């Protein structure tokens, strides 16, 4: 019986991703691939582009502190742990999978 999601397996997948040019974060165990992806060092979410990343960052006008918004509250969706804007109002996963 194969163990598909054991810690050794995850370590192996991670090592493979890094070998294949994956990016890592110093603050969490996330590994992501793809040019232009933006990983947030605060909330440790990964975004499809720096543009989408910027949308989840907000500023507290009183303290001038930057903070992270929940992408769900911005109507973003996540796939393979990467957040992106919903392609359209009439979004459906069927449509998405055809991309």
Residues that bind Zn ion (CB under 5 A): 25, 27-28, 40, 42-44, 68
Nearer to Zn ion, 67 or 91 (CB): 67
Strand spans (E) along 25-75: 31-32, 38-39, 46-47, 57-59, 66-68
Nearer to Zn ion, 29 or 92 (CB): 29
Interior angle at CA 90, CA 86 and CA 96, nearest 5: 55
Give the nearest distance from C-beta 27 to Zn ion in angstroms: 5
Nearer to Zn ion, 66 or 92 (CB): 66
Give the nearest distance from C-beta 1 to Zn ion in angstroms: 33
Q: What's the token pair of residue 66?
A: 């930057």
Give the nearest distance from C-beta 64 to Zn ion in angstroms: 17
Contact 49, 36 (CB under 8 A): yes
């Amino acid at each position: 019986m194969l163990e598909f999601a054991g810690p050794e397996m995850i370590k192996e997948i991670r090592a493979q991703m890094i070998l294949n040019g994956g990016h890592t974060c110093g603050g969490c165990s996330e590994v992501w691939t793809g040019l232009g992806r933006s990983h947030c060092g605060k909330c440790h979410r990964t975004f499809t582009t720096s543009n989408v990343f910027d949308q989840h960052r907000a500023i507290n006008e009183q303290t001038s502190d930057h903070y992270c918004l929940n992408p769900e509250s911005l109507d973003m969706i996540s796939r393979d742990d990467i957040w992106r804007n919903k392609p359209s109002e009439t979004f459906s996963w069927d449509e998405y999978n055809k991309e």
